[in-house]
Structure 1
Amino acid sequence: MPRSSPGLWKRARRWLYWLHRWTGIALCVLFAIWFVSGVVMMYVPFPSFRAAERVASASPLDWRQVRIGPREALERLGADVFPGELRLEMTGTEPVYRASLSGARRALSASSGEEIGPIDAGRAAAIARQFTGAPALRTELVEHDQWVVTRTYARMAPFWRVRVDDGRASDIYVTKRTGEIVQNTDAAERFWNWLGAVPHWIYFEALRIYQAPWVQTVIWTSGIGTISAVLGLWIGILRLRLRRRYKSGSASPYRGWMKWHHVTGLAGGIFVITWTFSGWLSMSPFGGFGSGDAPAIAKRYEGETHPRFAAPDLAVLAASARGAVELRFAHIDGRPTVLAVDQDGAVSAIDGISAKPARPAKRDLEALARKAVPQGRLVDTDLLREHDLYWYTTGDARKAARPVPVLRMTFDDPDESWLYIDPETGELLAQSSKGRRTYRWLFSALHSFDLPFFLAFRPLRDGLMILLSITGLIVSVSGIVVGWRYLVRSVR
């Protein structure tokens, strides 16, 4: 060994300790908050109003009032392309078409054919009352608040925030532009989120409304936190003596809080590193893992579309969609298709031209899938009757439902694409690429432990996560105490 090596290693260790000490002092409080808030989030997710909740609380379509068909609705809206989304639902006591055109939300009455323009506070209160069954206490106009703060909501602002007298202090958010309900929260949800998702994601309104600064804040704090955790585990191993013990007889040279920090850091160090690293990875610091050719595949699966939809006989459509609370209008292989959704979330397909029930044949879906993924060969088609490692549900309302049975079609294209198709309706439910499947392991598995075995035995998963979070919390709290004492000594 060169003579300079011991000196270099000594200086390197000094820098190692220095970096861990100061990154720990800077971030230990945040680490403690992350571990506590992560446990809260296991039981109370961030408020959301997704399709499943919208459908579950919706009233059946009142076909007696539906006088405008989808073709005429798009004509009256002046659509020059087919909308990214077009659906028919009840809003209050009125059937309404809702369309997403050029990123803007538009709405048109299916009864009168009039576009629904800015709504006043009284109508917003009536919509909230119809939705909750409770009278409105107060209505105020907001551009954003803690619960409607992301870019998605910014495109729909402003909102009427309606507080209803339902015994839970619920707030219903109704867009002023179209009268659409886009969010709802209650007092308990808001309270627990101040202890859960808000601090965990650093989701404070004053920062979150600015996308780029918020992203950089999370990336840098979690990134530096990961480095600090790695350095801490390295130091912990360097200071551990299992054979030639210290004079005290202990494998650790420390006492008191520092010993707690050392021992729990060794016990839970790997978890702290992987948990912080996966959180950092969730922000796609280098652009993410990519979703392959997903947008083009979806477009080819949809097929050629026109600005207008078909003009089905409304009486026949009403009979075929009996009991539906929502109709979604789409194209599958260029064919107009109506997806009727009932209150339980079950979806059935209706031919958009004849308005009769339709069920695609498996061979036709395989042919369409081949057309959607021309760069590869269809290797396999599986009918999944149970959830597996990649197609599963966690019960989180913020995530899309993944129904079974589902057809999984596997291709050997450069992105190793998988298509998930509803065998009953032919709808393309989701896509997966090798990049997304890698992300599934590096983020979801490491951060949420959402493996089938754990999801099947939720108490085991929760117990393990809580135990590891307590270990991480002890590491953090002991680090706070040690860091504070160091700062006090330095000042003195």
Structure 2
Amino acid sequence: MKRYLYLWHRWLGIVLCLFMAMWFISGVVMMYVGYPKLTPREHLAHLPVLDLQGCCRSLDEVLAAGGQSDAPSSIRLSMVGGVPRYLLGYAGQPSVAVDARSGQRLSLVDEAQAMAAARQFAADASARYQGLVQEDVWTHSRALDSERPLHRVSLADEAQRLLYISSRTGAVVRDATGQERSWNWLGAWLHWLYPLRGGVLSGWWADIVIYLALAATLMAVLGNVIGLLRWRLQRPYRSGSRSPYSGFARWHHVGGLLCGALVISWIFSGLMSMNPWRLFDAAAPLSTAAYQGGELRSRAFALALPEALRRFEQAGLQARELEWRLIAGQGYLVAYDGTGQTRILAMADGQVSSQLPQATLERAAQAMHGQGQMRSERLGAYDFYYYRRGEQSMLGHLEQRLPVLRVRFDDPGETWVHLDLHTGAMLGQMDSGKRTSRWLIALLHSWDWLPLLENRPLWDLLMLLFSAGGLLISLTGAVLGWRRLRRPRRVRRPQRHPGLAAPVGDVP
């Protein structure tokens, strides 16, 4: 049995050690430079103040022009290419844009409109059109599917940005700076095995990543078991060492004993981050439509837009984008300024406030679960399940403002929801499976633990130290594997039985 442990560990290592080394190197890069994305703050910072001169068409006209029988899942009004434009989102369908002045639905955005959007984004930089792409190395995110194909425009600004502009709406949906692109060849592009995306293996990309990570986890576990079996605690080997190995093999053995448990946790949590076999999918998510209390239609939004903008200005906010929101059947208009600050206007009484009443959100949340029991709490500080990460991290672009309302339900999934008191947005559902994934992924893989996240550079030092240990294990394993492959294969000589003549050709 022990022999098979060695064989499995050896041959898995020969195949996987270079992958492991690549994951450790790219993981360190991703600590500081994330995969390109357009964060909400970047988006708002590059928008001009809303100009509603000669505007706007009624919401009834806009929804009719959208040409969809279903109600939209989101409605925004923003400046796109210097003109006000309604941006309509539909679940699982392409986005739709409607000119706010003419009420005409836009067909596919052309090169001239894409260049106008690029000039709005960076008026002082010259721009060069690079064509239309369905998907490229910086746009693998599924969040962009409703905007494809994408216009690509390069800017000659200080950051050497590459802009991606929706062909559906004309809005800039992603930017990738020169620094992000350079580092990502060594970071996310390698870490997530993106060379396999977009080619003949694209359909198998997720399965390849999952089974490589599964095999690497098995390899690391076997290595730890073998390392413990070969380490002598009481009686040293003849050399005086507790390890029977020398050279690279000793570095591999000792490094594995010191950092092996962390290597296992990182590889296993990386496997879990792929949600293999859909382990963390909610069996029966709560209804967001019930939270809204109806479809996003015009009847809940009677106040005219110029008057709404005037009230936001009186409240001290210069709106760059408006968002229509329905909560418990009541209409609200949310305004965003260039720094991400918000004000919310209740259509029922025309009042502008910085936060919604807690009772309003609790009433809307209760509708999601009917007569079931729920408990709510107002969080004024971050905790294990609600916290903020740096923008470069995978989910660091998500707004995690305080205070926030957490509501817990007694449904079969023991679901929690976090509700933004500033905008009324539902920030996500977290059932027992998602909370388990919080432990298995965010904690084990990224060390998302508040005592560390709030005490940088302690988090950085520990991550770098143990990443170096994992890299040492991987590289020494790769060297040992290479030496094994180069070793001439020895032919096993047949054993002789005492008293029998030696086989022909055998040397006694």
Normalising by structure 1, what TM-score? 0.92
Amino acid at match of 2:485: L
| Structure 2: stretches of 5+ with no match in the other structure | 491-508
Task: Give the structure 2 partner of residue 362 of structure 1.
Answer: 358
Partner of residue 329, structure 2: 334
* Aligned-partner Cα distance in 1 for 2:463–2:114: 42
Could you tell me how far 1:338 is from its partner in structure 2? 1.4
Rounded to whole Å, the distance in 1 between the matches of 2:389 and 2:45 is 18
| One-letter amino acid of the counterpart of residue 295, structure 2 | T
SS of residue in 2 equivalent to 1:246? coil
Residue deviations 1:268-293, cap 9 Å, x none? 00000000000001111131223354
Residue 412 of structure 1: aligned partner: 410
- Which residue of 1 is the match for residue 44 of structure 2? 55
Q: Where does residue 242 of structure 1 map in the other structure?
A: 233
Moved more, 476-485 or 422-431: 422-431
Q: Does residue 396 of the first structure (1) align with residue 411 of the second (2)? A: no
- The partner residue of 2:289 within 299, 312, 326 is 299
Residue 67 of structure 2: aligned partner: 78
- In structure 2, give the amino acid aligned to 1:19: W
Unaligned runs of 5+ in 1: 1-11
Shifted more, 25-34 versus 329-338: the winner is: 329-338
| In structure 2, C-alpha distance between the alignment counterparts of 1:328 and 1:52, rounded to whole Å | 15
How far apart, in 2, do the equivalents of 1:221 and 1:215 lie? Answer: 10
Quick check: 1:149–1:208 contact (8 Å CA) kept in 2?
A: no
Structure 1 distance, partners of 2:374, 2:457, is 40
| Cα shift at 1:66 | 2.4
Distance 1:213 1:152 in 2: 20
Q: Deviations over 1:311-357 (max 9, x none)?
A: 42222112123311111112111222211112221222212466542
- CA 1:55/1:205 → structure 2, altered by over 3 Å: closer, same or farther? farther
Q: What is the aligned counterpart of 1:448 among 433, 446, 449?
A: 446
Instruction: List per-residue Cα deviations over 1:370-394 (Å, max 9, x = no partner).
Output: 2212363123x22211111110011
Residue 456 of structure 1 and its aligned partner are, at CA, apart by 0.4
Q: 1:23 is matched with which residue? A: 12
Counterpart for residue 458 of structure 2: 460
Check the 8 A contact 2:327/2:361 in 1, yes or no: no
- Equivalent position of 2:3 in the other structure: 14
**How many residues align structurally?**
479
Distance (Å, rounded) in 2 between the aligned partners of 1:361 and 1:168: 42
Native 8 Å contact 2:76 2:88 kept in 1: yes
Return the offset for 1:464: 0.4
Return the TM-score normalized by structure 2.
0.89
- Alpha-carbon distance, 1:306 to partner: 5.3
1:251 aligns with 2:242: yes
Residue number in structure 2 paired with 1:132: 122
Out of 94-103 and 199-208, give the one that drifted further: 199-208
Mapped partners of 1:217, 1:135: distance in 2:
41
Moved more, 451-460 or 314-323: 314-323
Q: CA deviation at 1:155?
A: 4.0
Identify which range, 339-348 or 455-464, moves more after superposition.
339-348
Q: What is the distance in 1 between the residues matched to 2:121 and 2:296?
A: 34
| Alpha-carbon distance between aligned partners in 2 of 1:281 and 1:119, rounded to the nearest angstrom | 39
Structure 1 residue 206 displacement after superposition:
4.2
Deviates more, 1:347-356 or 1:385-394: 347-356
Structure 1 pair 169–472 and aligned structure 2 pair: CA distance change class (3 A): same
3-state SS of 2:324 partner? strand
What secondary structure does 1:195 align onto? coil
Q: 2:107 aligns with which of 109, 114, 117?
A: 117
Residues 134-169 of structure 1, C-alpha deviation per residue, up to 9 Å, x if partnerless? 121343222221011344434422222111111332
Other structure's SS at 1:445 match:
helix
The equivalent residue for 1:105 is: 95
Task: Choose which of 21, 38, 41 in structure 1 pairs with 2:30.
Answer: 41
CA distances 1:117-145 after superposition (whole Å, capped 9, x unpaired):
22322221221121022121343222221
The alignment status of 1:482 with 2:480, answered yes or no, reads yes
Aligned to 1:174: 165
Q: Alpha carbons of 1:361 and 1:169: their partners in 2 closer, same or farther (altered >3 Å)? A: closer
Contact 1:207–1:213 (CA<8 Å) still a contact in 2? Answer: no
Q: Percent identity?
A: 38
Contact 1:207/1:214 (CA < 8 Å) preserved in 2? Answer: no
Shift of 1:474: 0.4
Q: How far, CA to CA, are the matches of 2:421 and 2:217 in structure 1?
A: 43
**Other-structure match for 1:6:** none
**CA deviation after TM superposition for structure 1 residue 368, in Å:** 2.5
Summarize the Cα distance change of 1:208–1:408 in structure 2 as closer, same or farther, 3 Å threshold. Answer: farther
Q: Hey, what does 2:148 align to over in structure 1?
A: 157
**Cα drift, residue 179 of structure 1:** 1.0
Shift of 1:261: 0.4
Give how far 1:210 is off.
6.1
The 1:320/1:79 distance shift into structure 2, 3 A limit, reads farther
Q: How far does residue 367 in structure 1 lie from its aligned partner after superposition? A: 2.7
Hey, what's the Cα distance between the residues in 2 that align with 1:172 and 1:434? 39
The answer to whether the aligner puts 1:349 opposite 2:340 as a matched pair is no
Question: Compared with structure 1, are the counterparts of its residues 179 and 368 closer, same or farther at alpha carbon in structure 2 (3 Å cutoff)?
Answer: closer
